């Protein structure tokens, strides 16, 4: 059996190598094997773990690889599994629905009961990202106005934000402690708002070495206590401030440095309890309209029987295809984690990340993929314990593209040199306008996975992953650019 497998593999590799060797003399360009090997074997990459895979989109066949079956930490390239499989399973027209309802008896202008805001896990609720939807500055006032139209002037009970659609802790268990207070690690709640982030604005127009003073926090979060230990560094030093304190923790400690400058500097944090903030904001908006709520603003994790609720409005998100596009263009962790849990709610047995991961693994196996190299801890790639081989994710993208079409797939990925997180790459390259890809980066980890329309006109999927490099991320990006351009030219 082993001999048969080895003989089959050897024939395949000999065939692929022969074709590429012939192409070397046909077009005068280095073969893709030479491009990859020279890049991976360079002295600069001596201590790094490098993996590369390239597939033909039309056939799904592996064209070339380097450590392509090895497992790497993919960072945000992992979002391709979560976003594209969610789109396939839930449908491109799927919309999240946040329901406004009340329970109790409405007599004249008095509601003897509670107001309910029932979440569906919508990651875009109250976001500023979509001009056609209510942002967080508008959302509470809109909800209050809808109650005013019902003629309600007094609510004897509570304003309740119901997040019970997801029945798990908002963050993944293996996320790093120093990430949890930052906006990109807010996690996914059953009811999200303002993309679960707040902004801390600092005065940095001071000499280096001095402590940066907090000017304001937006939005205002009741009971938030910030212990500030952030100092001013050189102008080009970047954002090196870390917010410590995870979900439900209102006492935060901020340490590190931010760059000197004439304009205020922004550090983004994760809202400790988004449903609670929304509930309190709605109470405040009700009061501004003269509507009194006797009880406190609360959020609940246990679902109230729907038969008790009287709905009066529904807030719908944009279609899922638009949310997936934003998630991949701007590498939005919250969106990916919400997609993962939503898969569990609609296609599985519970609204948890683990259930979403189970469904993704099941989908991959049903499609015939060998998932031995894939280990998922979350849906966004933020965990450093996620693992996948370049071959698997490149093959998955090739298959997805072949099934759904080039145009439908490229609209979900940012174009290098123009859009999203890859807008600065390949700007002066002949490959500009020919590459669509998802970026991924963490400390000493970088990956790019996407599609290339090669110089020959052939459509390729690719994945490049580098772990444990020992130089700056800007140098690593330059190296990645060089390899992607080399792939484009050689095929």
Q: What is the pLDDT of residues 6-30, one digit of tens each?
A: 334 444 443 344 344 334 434 567 8
Q: Indicate if 355 and 473 belong to the same structural domain.
A: yes
Q: Return phi, psi of residue 161, to 5°.
A: -100, 115
Owning domain of residue 24 = 13-92+322-490
CA gap 172, 178 in Å, rounded = 14
Sheet containing strand 265-270, strands side by side: 213-218, 197-203, 265-270
Least confident range of 45-54, 294-303, 325-334:
294-303
Which pair of tokens denotes residue 130?
A: 């979509």
Residue 467 lies in a domain: yes
In the DSSP assignment, the letter for residue 153 is -
Torsion of CA 413, 415, 416, 422, to 10 degrees: -50
CA gap 141, 50 in Å, rounded = 52
Q: Indicate if 28 and 102 belong to the same structural domain.
A: no
Residue 338 lies in a domain: yes
Q: Return phi, psi of residue 359, to 5°.
A: -65, -40
Domain boundary among 265, 284, 317: 317
Q: Indicate if 102 and 217 belong to the same structural domain.
A: yes
Compute how many other C-beta atoms are within 10 angstroms of the C-beta atom of residue 64: 24
Q: Indicate if 327 and 395 belong to the same structural domain.
A: yes
CA 365 vs. chain centroid, Å, equals 24
Overall domain count for the chain: 2
Rounded-to-5 percentages of helix, strand, coil across the chain: 35, 25, 40
Phi-psi sector, 194: left (phi>0), alpha (psi -120 to 50), beta? left
In the DSSP assignment, the letter for residue 212 is P
Q: pLDDT (tens digit, 9 = 90+) per residue, 115-140?
A: 999 999 999 999 999 999 999 999 99
Domain boundary among 283, 317, 351: 317
Residue 104 lies in a domain: yes
Q: Indicate if 344 and 228 belong to the same structural domain.
A: no
Which residues contact residue 114 at a Cβ distance below 8 angstroms, ignoring those fewer than 6 apart?
Answer: 102, 103, 104, 155, 157, 158, 159, 160, 295
- In the chain, DSSP finds a helix count (H) and a strand count (E) of 11, 18
Q: Indicate if 42 and 125 belong to the same structural domain.
A: no
CA gap 41, 97 in Å, rounded = 51
Q: Indicate if 367 and 401 belong to the same structural domain.
A: yes
Give percent of the chain above pLDDT 90.
Answer: 89
Q: Indicate if 247 and 349 belong to the same structural domain.
A: no
Q: For the whole model, what pTM was predicted? A: 0.92
Segment 154-163 shows an average pLDDT of 94
pLDDT at 305: 64
Q: Indicate if 136 and 226 belong to the same structural domain.
A: yes
Which pair of tokens denotes residue 277?
A: 């903030």
Residue showing tokens 């019970």: 164
DSSP 88-141: HHH-TT---EEEEEEEEEEETTEEEEEEEEE----TTTB-SS-TTS-BTTTHHH
Residue 6 lies in a domain: no
How many alpha carbons lie under 13 Å from residue 184 in its C-beta half-sphere?
Answer: 19
pLDDT at 20: 42
Q: Is the pLDDT at 220 greater than 70, yes or no? A: yes
Q: Which CATH number fits the domain that encloses residue 410? A: 3.40.710.10
Residue 4 lies in a domain: no
Q: Indicate if 346 and 447 belong to the same structural domain.
A: yes
Residue 404 lies in a domain: yes
Which residues contact residue 34 at a Cβ distance below 8 angstroms, ignoring those fewer than 6 apart?
Answer: 24, 490
Q: pLDDT (tens digit, 9 = 90+) per residue, 55-86?
A: 999 999 999 999 999 999 999 999 999 999 99
The CA-atom distances, in angstroms, between 334 and each of 30, 330, 395 are 42, 11, 26
Q: Indicate if 58 and 176 belong to the same structural domain.
A: no
């Amino acid at each position: 059996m082993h001999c048969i497998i080895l003989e089959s593999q050897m024939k395949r590799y000999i065939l692929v190598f022969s074709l590429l060797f012939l192409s070397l003399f046909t077009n005068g360009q280095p073969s893709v094997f030479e491009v990859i090997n020279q890049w991976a074997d360079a002295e600069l990459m001596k201590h790094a773990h490098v993996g590369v895979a390239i597939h033909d989109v039309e056939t799904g066949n592996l064209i070339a690889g380097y450590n392509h079956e090895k497992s790497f930490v993919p960072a945000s390239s992992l979002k391709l599994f979560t976003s594209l499989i969610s789109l396939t399973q839930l449908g491109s027209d799927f919309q999240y629905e946040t329901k406004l309802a009340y329970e109790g008896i409405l007599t004249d202008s008095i509601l003897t009961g509670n107001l309910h805001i029932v979440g569906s896990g919508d990651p875009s609720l109250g976001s500023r990202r979509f001009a056609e939807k209510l942002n967080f500055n508008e959302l509470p006032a809109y909800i209050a106005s809808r109650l005013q139209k019902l003629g309600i002037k007094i609510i004897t009970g509570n304003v309740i934000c119901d997040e019970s659609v997801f029945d798990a802790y908002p963050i993944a268990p293996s996320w790093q402690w120093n990430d949890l207070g930052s906006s990109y690690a807010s996690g996914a709640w059953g009811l999200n708002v303002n993309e679960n982030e707040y902004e801390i604005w600092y005065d940095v127009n001071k000499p280096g070495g001095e402590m940066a003073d907090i000017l304001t926090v937006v939005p205002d979060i009741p009971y938030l206590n910030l212990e500030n230990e952030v100092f001013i560094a050189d102008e080009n030093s970047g954002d090196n401030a870390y917010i410590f304190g995870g979900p439900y923790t209102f006492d935060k400690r901020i340490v590190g440095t931010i760059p000197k400058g004439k304009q205020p500097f922004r550090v983004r944090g994760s809202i400790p309890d988004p449903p609670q903030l929304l509930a309190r904001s709605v109470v405040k908006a009700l009061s501004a309209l003269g509507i009194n709520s006797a009880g406190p603003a609360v959020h609940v994790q246990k679902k109230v029987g729907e038969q008790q609720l009287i709905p009066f409005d529904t807030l719908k998100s944009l279609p899922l295809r638009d949310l997936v596009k934003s998630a991949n263009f701007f590498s939005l962790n919250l969106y990916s984690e919400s997609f993962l849990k939503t898969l569990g709610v609609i296609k599985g047995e519970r609204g948890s990340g683990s259930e979403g991961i189970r469904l993704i693994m099941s989908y991959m196996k049903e499609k015939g993929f060998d998932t031995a190299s894939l280990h998922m801890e979350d849906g966004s790639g933020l965990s450093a314990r996620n693992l996948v081989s370049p071959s698997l994710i490149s093959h998955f993208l090739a298959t997805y593209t072949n099934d759904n079409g080039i145009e439908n797939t490229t609209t979900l990925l940012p174009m290098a040199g123009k859009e999203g997180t890859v807008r600065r790459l390949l700007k002066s390259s002949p490959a500009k306008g020919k590459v669509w890809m998802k970026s991924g980066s963490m400390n000493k980890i970088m990956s790019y996975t996407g599609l290339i329309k090669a110089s020959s006109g052939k459509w390729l999927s690719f994945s490049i992953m580098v772990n444990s490099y020992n130089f700056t991320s800007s140098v690593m990006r330059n190296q990645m650019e060089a390899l992607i351009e080399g792939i484009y030219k050689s095929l």
